[in-house]
Structure 1
Amino acid sequence: MMLEKLKTMGTMQLLLLFLPLQLLVAWWGVSSGLTDIPMSAIFGMPTGNGDDALTASILYELRLPRVLLALCVGMGLTLSGLIMQAIVQNPLADPYVLGVSSGAYFGTAAGLFLGLGSLFGAIGIGACSFAGALFVSVLVIGFARRENGDLSNLLLGGLAMGLVFSSLAGFLVYKASDTEGMESITFWLMGSVANASLTQSLILCVVVVAIFLYFMTQSRVLNILLLGRDTAITLGVNAKDHLTKYLLCNGLLVGLIVYNAGMIGFIGLVLPHIVRSLLGADHRVLLPAAVMLGGMTAVLLDLLSRSLIPIPGVEIPLGVMFALVGAPLFIYLVFRQRYNVFM
């Protein structure tokens, strides 16, 4: 009964439903940890215990940036998965499986080890990450169109792209012999939000929200794209007119996420499947529900990752947590034959 009500809700109703839940989960992520932060401190009120400075430092330098970054990672990768699946009319498409994340990883490694970081700072590395993600996006989509969207060829092509760019990034790491850089690359490979910066997290939030709102206006187009290129043209939608814009948005999204949090897989693949199997393939419902749930899932898994090991400073990287949870779920969906839910 509840699912039927969700399917009939409008976009604004869904946002108003999920936004308080998302804020509640974010508050839980900010307040929980080795040091509990009271509600009064979160709203800038004095706690009365003489540790206001320490509490503020923990809140604004550690907890808040981390929760914001996890929220953006979950929302952004779920949105990216939805975009990729609609563009190629394939429910198994996502930025990780199709190699887009590997392209962003290669761009990040190139920017780091070729000296662009020292010349232009974080902006230079972020631009390289975006360029790598965009380049692989164009290659994979072009390959999919050439093969008429064949599932096996598309997945093999994406896997090949991922392996090629991961190998190129590994070669750069090997040739650089830079201990500090190798530690940074290891961080990117595992995927983590532990080193989040408030400024960069806020910038990523603005980008994710802007792209999310843009695609909220594209729900009808995304629905039509699922029907195939020929059918879309008869309905007045030319896929080529939207492909470049969607690829630019997707490349920017994945590039910035990989730059900030590293390689995090499965959420852009599994979460859209779960929500689509429950609420259907209409993007007017699917897009807000899946993206908001993606943000909440990332925050909850990050909270779990820093709580499972009761040793200060020791935690499970978020990318590892997503793989541990997402891989079994994906296998379950495949064996249940619920992965092809576009119809």
Structure 2
Amino acid sequence: MDDTATAPAAPVEAAALRGIRPAARFAAAMVLLGAAWAAASVAAVANGPVRIPPSHVVSVLAARAGVDVGTFAERERLVIERLRLPRVVLATLAGASLAAAGATMQALFRNPLADPGLLGVSSGAATGAVTAIAAGLGAASIWLVSGAAFTGALGAVGLVYLLGAPGGRPHPGSLLLAGVAVSAFLGSITAVVIALVPPDEALRGILFWLAGGFSGASWAYARVVAWPIAAGLLVLGLAGRQLNLLCISDEVAASSGVHLGRTRALLLGAATLVTAASVSVSGTIGFVGLVVPHVLRLVLGPDYRYLLPASMVAGAAVLVGADTVARTVVRPAELQVGMVTALIGAPVFAVILLRQRSRLAIQL
């Protein structure tokens, strides 16, 4: 695939083609996306084996902030605070991370098919977690599985850099090829481990982890991943101008004062950090980082000063909603979130590609 053929149009030129000012369109989009996330969060907290009226949900959340707006039962408070709220928080963090990382990867690689797993993050995390579960570490502590996933993700990216950044200078084409090779290699290791594991609870745990989900969500998990995710998202959110220049060409970016090697390494590192932290507690969840930036790009244009923060909010809303669907659509059973995002995301992305293939120079 020719990288130059898939590069998005310059932000200023793209925005000039739209009647509404980009800043006004961005403000309206953020209000709508924020409202969608709030509605999805209330629905997620209200729905489950014990259904809680939305008004009681608002009362419990307001009470945590020290505001008395209504009554609620003590059992409802315990269900919300100990079971459902941590799940919403983790889904919010993971959704924002995956969407922002996907948008960043698409700009840095000038490739509309780039996603957070491009550098082997997802496959490395899967290999680490599957190996830990197969070794029985999950029975000792779930933290060991998450730690193994995080270590595997960072190790995979380190290997990709070693292969695709000769002399310490990362190049998009070399990193892309190295990421494909490392992901395929780690995927084969994961398959071998699964084949050797006896068909017992360990295998069940492996398959559920690979499908992705938040059934093990807790405040302890949320506190651990919140700091690295917040730091990584802050770096990405402030890099809109640099990404605008990098997604045009290296020559334009360099002539505008962007230090190519340092900037690309910093942004790839931040995208890797938030993805690895998210995957370590949620398992592998696909299509969020691929589809969300594409949909928003159709509305907001390719200006990353607007696209990145909007992707964070939209990704959070999408994953909170997907988790609610996974918990409720086949009650009393529960689907994995990765199944829901794949079932919804794949058709949506196919439609986007069919509408955009002439511009993206992709022949399906």
SS of residue matched to 2:356: coil
**8 Å Cα contact 2:121/2:154 also seen in 1:** yes
SS of residue matched to 2:114: coil
Q: Deviations over 1:100-124 (max 9, x none)?
A: 21112112234444577789x5555
Pairing 1:170-209 to 2, within 5 Å after superposition: 170-175=191-196, 177=198, 179-209=200-230
| Counterpart check, 1:248 vs 2:269 | yes
Pairing 1:198-277 to 2, within 5 Å after superposition: 198-277=219-298
Moved more, 204-213 or 137-146: 137-146
**8 Å Cα contact 1:188/1:258 also seen in 2:** no
**8 Å Cα contact 2:123/2:187 also seen in 1:** yes
Q: Could you tell me how far 1:18 is from its partner in structure 2?
A: 4.4
The answer for the alignment partner of 2:151 in structure 1 is 131
**Mind listing any 5+ residue stretches in structure 1 that lack a counterpart?**
none
Question: Which of 332, 356, 363 is the aligned partner of 1:337?
Answer: 356
The answer for the alignment partner of 1:8 in structure 2 is 23
TM-score of the superposition, structure 2-length normalised?
0.78
| CA RMSD across the alignment | 3.4
**8 Å Cα contact 1:83/1:250 also seen in 2:** yes
The answer for the alignment partner of 2:60 in structure 1 is 41
The answer for the alignment partner of 1:32 in structure 2 is 47
Over the matched positions of the two proteins, sequence identity in percent amounts to: 31
Moved more, 82-91 or 11-20: 11-20
> Against the structure 1 CA distance between its residues 112 and 34, is the aligned structure 2 distance closer, same or farther, given a 3 Å change threshold?
closer
Q: Could you tell me how far 1:265 is from its partner in structure 2?
A: 0.5
Moved more, 231-240 or 40-49: 40-49
Name the amino acid aligned to 2:267: Y
Q: Measure the CA separation in 1 of the matches of 2:76 and 2:207.
A: 30
Moved more, 9-18 or 269-278: 9-18
**8 Å Cα contact 1:191/1:319 also seen in 2:** yes
Name the amino acid aligned to 2:76: T
Q: Could you tell me how far 1:173 is from its partner in structure 2?
A: 3.8
Pairing 1:275-286 to 2, within 5 Å after superposition: 275-286=296-307
Q: Could you tell me how far 1:47 is from its partner in structure 2?
A: 7.7
Q: Deviations over 1:261-301 (max 9, x none)?
A: 11111110111111112111111110111110110011112
The answer for the alignment partner of 1:316 in structure 2 is 335
Question: Which of 303, 321, 346 is the aligned partner of 1:300?
Answer: 321
Q: Measure the CA separation in 1 of the matches of 2:89 and 2:241.
A: 29
Q: Deviations over 1:108-164 (max 9, x none)?
A: 234444577789x555544432333234335556777789756xx987764443332
Q: Measure the CA separation in 1 of the matches of 2:266 and 2:135.
A: 29
> Against the structure 1 CA distance between its residues 131 and 233, is the aligned structure 2 distance closer, same or farther, given a 3 Å change threshold?
farther
Name the amino acid aligned to 2:40: V
Moved more, 292-301 or 12-21: 12-21
Q: Measure the CA separation in 1 of the matches of 2:359 and 2:287.
A: 16
Q: Could you tell me how far 1:336 is from its partner in structure 2?
A: 1.5
Q: Deviations over 1:204-246 (max 9, x none)?
A: 2343233222222211111111122232211111221123322
> Against the structure 1 CA distance between its residues 25 and 141, is the aligned structure 2 distance closer, same or farther, given a 3 Å change threshold?
same
Q: Deviations over 1:311-339 (max 9, x none)?
A: 32x12211000000111111111222259
The answer for the alignment partner of 2:10 in structure 1 is none
> Against the structure 1 CA distance between its residues 5 and 144, is the aligned structure 2 distance closer, same or farther, given a 3 Å change threshold?
farther
> Against the structure 1 CA distance between its residues 216 and 148, is the aligned structure 2 distance closer, same or farther, given a 3 Å change threshold?
closer
> Against the structure 1 CA distance between its residues 234 and 131, is the aligned structure 2 distance closer, same or farther, given a 3 Å change threshold?
farther
TM-score of the superposition, structure 1-length normalised?
0.83
**Mind listing any 5+ residue stretches in structure 2 that lack a counterpart?**
1-17
**8 Å Cα contact 1:104/1:254 also seen in 2:** no
**8 Å Cα contact 1:306/1:316 also seen in 2:** yes
Moved more, 175-184 or 259-268: 175-184
